[in-house]
Amino acid sequence: MGTGARLIETIGERRLIVAIGVVFLVAAAIRGYVRIASGTAPTSALFVSVFISIPALILLYGGYRLREMDIHPDFHSTVATWTTGGVLAMVGFLAVYNVVVEGGISNPDRAFTILPAFSALAGFALGLRDAQIKTSKREIDTTVEQLRMSNERLEQFAYAASHDLQEPLRMVSSYLQLLERRADDELTDETREFLAYAVDGADRMRAMVDGLLVYSRIDTEGKPFETVALEDVVERAVDDLGVLIEECDAEITVGDLPQVEGDEMQLHRLVQNLLQNALEYTDDDPRVRVTAERNGDTWILSVQDNGIGIDPANQDDIFEVFKRLHTREEYPGTGIGLALCQRIAERHGGEIWVDSEPGKGSTFSVSLPVERASQPSPKRRGGPSVSSRR
C-alpha cells in the first residue's frame, strides 16, 4: 500500500475531503485577514477570499454527503485519491514553475491557494465520475454473477429432478406392462383400455424426463468446440431419419453448407430436431430445404418446409420447454425439441428464430459462429448438392 493510500485509510476518505475543504476555507480567511491588515482594499481582498471559499465549501459539502451518493463505499477512496491528487499535482506544478521559470516564489499565497483549491475541486469531480463508473461496473458484475449462479442452481435442480425421476418412472412403466401381459385373460376391455392409457402416460412422462435431462446437460456436458462440417452433420441427420423420410415420401434438398465452430453432437441433435419437425408438421408431400448464408461473423443455417406453418402469435412461445401448439392426437411430440435447439444455439453464441405463415410453411434459422480459420465462402459452390427423394 502506498503512502497516499495509507494516509487516506488512516484519516478516512470522507474526512480527508472535508479536511481539504476546511484547509482552503481557513487559507481563504487568513489570506483575507492578512491582506486587509497590510492595507489592501477590503473589497479586493474579500473578493479573492470568497473566490477561494467557493471550491472549499463545495468540497466540504461533497465530502460530507459522499455516503449518500450512488457510489459504493469501496470507491470513496477513489474520490479522495483524485481530490488529493488534484491538490498535489497543482502545488507541485506551481512550485516547479515558480522556482524554475520565475526564479522564486514571488506570491506564495496566490500560488498555493486559488489554483490548488480549484484543482482540488476538479480532482473531486473527476473522482466522483470515476467512482460512479466503477460502482456501475461492480453492480453489473454482481448481477451477472447472481444470474450465473441462479442459472447454475436451476440447471442442477432440473438435472437432479429429471435424473431422480427416471428410476421410479421406469418401475411404473415396467410393472404396468407386466400387469398388461400377465393379467391379460382376466382384464375386461375397459380395464385393458385404462391400462393402455396408464402405460402411454408413463411412456410420455419418461420421454419428457429424458428430454429435460438432456436439456439440463447442454452446458455442463457439452464438448469443447471444434471445426464442424455442417454438410456431414446434415447428412448424418438425414440418414438417422431415413425411416420417417421414407414413410412420408419426403424430399430433402441440401444446399452448400460451410464449416462452423461448434459441438458436433449438439449440432447434429439441433439439425435432426429441425428436420424431424419439418417432416412431422407437414401433412402432404414434405419438401424440406437446408441452406446456409454468411452474415458477417456468423453463418445462418436455415431449414425450410412447406408444412402447416405457425401462427405469428405463437412464434416465440414454441421455443419454451414443453410448449406445444397441438394435441398429441393431432401431432405426437413432447414439446422439448425446439427448447433444446435454442439452448444449443445459445451455447454456440447464436440464436434461433422462425419465419412462418400458417398454411404456407416455416423456415427455422440458426446463427452459428464461422469456423476459426474463417472460410470466406462455403466449401463447395454451385447448385443444391444433395437432392434425395427416398
Q: Which is nearer to ligand ADP, 257 or 318 (CB)?
A: 318
Q: Which is nearer to ligand ADP, 62 or 337 (CB)?
A: 337
Q: How far apart are CA 192 and CA 303, in angstroms?
A: 42
Q: Which residue is nearest to ligand ADP (CB)?
A: 333
Cell of 162: 429429471
**Within a 13 Å sphere around the CA of 14, how many CA atoms are in the beta-carbon half?**
13
Q: For the chain, what is the largest distance between any 2 Cα atoms, rounded to a whole number of angstroms?
A: 125
Least gap, CB of 359 to ligand ADP (angstroms)? 10
Sheet containing 251-254, strands listed edge to edge, beginning at the edge strand earlier in sequence: 352-357, 361-369, 298-304, 287-295, 251-254, 386-389
Q: How far apart are CA 210 and CA 206, in angstroms?
A: 6
Q: How far apart are CA 357 and CA 291, in angstroms?
A: 19
Least gap, CB of 249 to ligand ADP (angstroms)? 17
Least gap, CB of 236 to ligand ADP (angstroms)? 19
Least gap, CB of 327 to ligand ADP (angstroms)? 10
Q: How far apart are CA 82 and CA 135, in angstroms?
A: 16
Q: Which is nearer to ligand ADP, 8 or 208 (CB)?
A: 208
Q: Which is nearer to ligand ADP, 97 or 322 (CB)?
A: 322
Least gap, CB of 288 to ligand ADP (angstroms)? 9
Q: Which is nearer to ligand ADP, 79 or 336 (CB)?
A: 336
Going by their DSSP bridges, the two strands 226-229 and 259-262 should be labelled as: antiparallel
Q: Which is nearer to ligand ADP, 135 or 273 (CB)?
A: 273
Q: Which is nearer to ligand ADP, 12 or 335 (CB)?
A: 335
Helix/strand/coil for 320: coil
Least gap, CB of 326 to ligand ADP (angstroms)? 5
Please identify which residue in the block is written with the cell numbers 449438439: 266
Least gap, CB of 307 to ligand ADP (angstroms)? 5
Least gap, CB of 243 to ligand ADP (angstroms)? 17
Least gap, CB of 271 to ligand ADP (angstroms)? 13
Least gap, CB of 223 to ligand ADP (angstroms)? 23
Among residues 58, 79, 163, 78, which one has the least CA distance to residue 121? Answer: 58
Distance set, CA 101 to CA 95, 97, 105, 115, 333 (Å): 10, 5, 10, 17, 86
Q: Which is nearer to ligand ADP, 333 or 378 (CB)?
A: 333
The secondary structure element, H or E, covering residue 388 is strand 386-389
Q: Give start and end residues of each alpha helix (H) in the chain.
A: 3-11, 13-37, 42-65, 76-96, 108-111, 114-182, 189-216, 230-240, 242-247, 264-280, 337-347
Please identify which residue in the block is written with the cell numbers 446463427: 367
Least gap, CB of 278 to ligand ADP (angstroms)? 5
Please identify which residue in the block is written with the cell numbers 485577514: 33
Q: Which is nearer to ligand ADP, 256 or 305 (CB)?
A: 305
The secondary structure element, H or E, covering residue 259 is strand 259-262
Among residues 333, 308, 306, 305, which one has the least CA distance to residue 321? Answer: 333
Q: Which is nearer to ligand ADP, 176 or 338 (CB)?
A: 338
Using CB under 6 A as the criterion, which residues of the chain lie in contact with ligand ADP when the complex forms?
273, 277-278, 281, 305, 307-310, 318, 323-326, 333-339, 362
Q: Which is nearer to ligand ADP, 216 or 334 (CB)?
A: 334
**Quick one: how far is CA 285 from the chain centroid?**
41
Cell of 370: 464461422
